[in-house]
Structure 1
Amino acid sequence: MKFFIVAASLIASVLAQSIDIGVPVSGDAIQAGQQLTVEVDRPNSLTGSEEVAIVIGLRPCYDNNCVAADEAIGSVLYNGGFKPQYSTLPGTGEKPPHQNFTVTVPEDIQAGPAILSVSHFSLVGAGPWPMFEVVNKSLTITGS
């Protein structure tokens, strides 16, 4: 029984540290060659953590065959630090801590379905222990 309690608390810790892509939302159309704002959300947690880095990638689905985001990133649009903060702008509603990244969609990227992914690496807990995750959204790329 003790094993299950420990396992459940570890799973809850990991889930509490997870990120999400707030913007764009699944199904959005984005234009090749244009700038895109990617909002990466990281809800608060009781477990301490230190953000290390994220990578934002965009990969078209060739012949409508989408490769899983944790298998191929595609074009790297951002690679670097991640420092989520609460929004202080009026009218933004209640958002979790987040950071916005303005990236440019490659001009020569294939039009059609695509996967936008964010790979996230952080250090969690007092130990700390490394945590890695990949989240994604399905988008449609339109011609430039």
Structure 2
Amino acid sequence: MKSFLTLAALAASALAQSVNIGSPADMSTVTPGNNITVQVNRPNTLTGSQEVAIAIGLFPCGGTDGQTPCAATNTTGVLGNVLYTGPYNPQYADGAPSLPPHQNFSVQVPSTFKSGQVSLGVAHFALVGASMMPIYEFVNTTLVVQ
């Protein structure tokens, strides 16, 4: 029972550090060749953590015809075209007290992308808790290229 409680506490600490994609919203329309702003949120937590890095990518779900929806494609852990890799330093925004700590990244939708759905994926790596336990997570949302 004791080991179960320890494992549950570690899992809760890791989940408390989870990121989410604040923008663009699910099913937003994007245009090939244009920049989009990806807001990566990390809600505040009482558990100490050290951010290591993130990677942001776009994966075309549509296959060769561009018509397959992302819901019919396994996009779990798939970044596709990597648009950003590097440091992640979420902060509160001045004048926006309702937003959690976050960081905005401007990335360009590849000009070669065809119309259809794409998966916007974010891979996140951090060190959590007093023992600096490494955690990795992947979150994604679907966008529509037009």
Compute the TM-score of the two structures, normalised by the length of structure 2: 0.89
Stretches of 4+ moved more than 6 A in 1? none
2:103 partner letter: Q
Q: Aligned equivalents of 1:128 and 1:9: distance in 2?
A: 14
Q: Aligned equivalents of 1:110 and 1:60: distance in 2?
A: 8
Q: Quick check: 1:69–1:115 contact (8 Å CA) kept in 2?
A: no
2:57 partner letter: G
2:84 partner letter: Y
Structure 1 residue 140 corresponds to structure 2 residue 135: no
Residue equivalent to 2:90: 84
Residue equivalent to 2:110: 106
Q: Unaligned 5+ residue runs, structure 2?
A: none
SS in 2 for 1:57: strand
Q: Quick check: 1:39–1:98 contact (8 Å CA) kept in 2?
A: yes
Q: Aligned equivalents of 1:134 and 1:31: distance in 2?
A: 24
Aligned length in residues: 139
1:77 partner letter: L
Residue equivalent to 1:10: 10
Structure-to-structure mapping, 1:107-122, within 5 angstroms? 107-122=111-126
What percent identity do the matched residue pairs reach?
Answer: 47
Compute the TM-score of the two structures, normalised by the length of structure 1: 0.90
Q: Deviations over 1:112-137 (max 9, x none)?
A: 01100000001111221111000000
Structure 1 residue 67 corresponds to structure 2 residue 74: yes
Q: Aligned equivalents of 1:111 and 1:43: distance in 2?
A: 33
CA RMSD of aligned residues (A): 1.3
Residue equivalent to 2:23: 23
Residue equivalent to 2:56: 56
Q: Aligned equivalents of 2:107 and 2:100: distance in 1?
A: 21
Q: Unaligned 5+ residue runs, structure 1?
A: none
SS in 1 for 2:126: strand
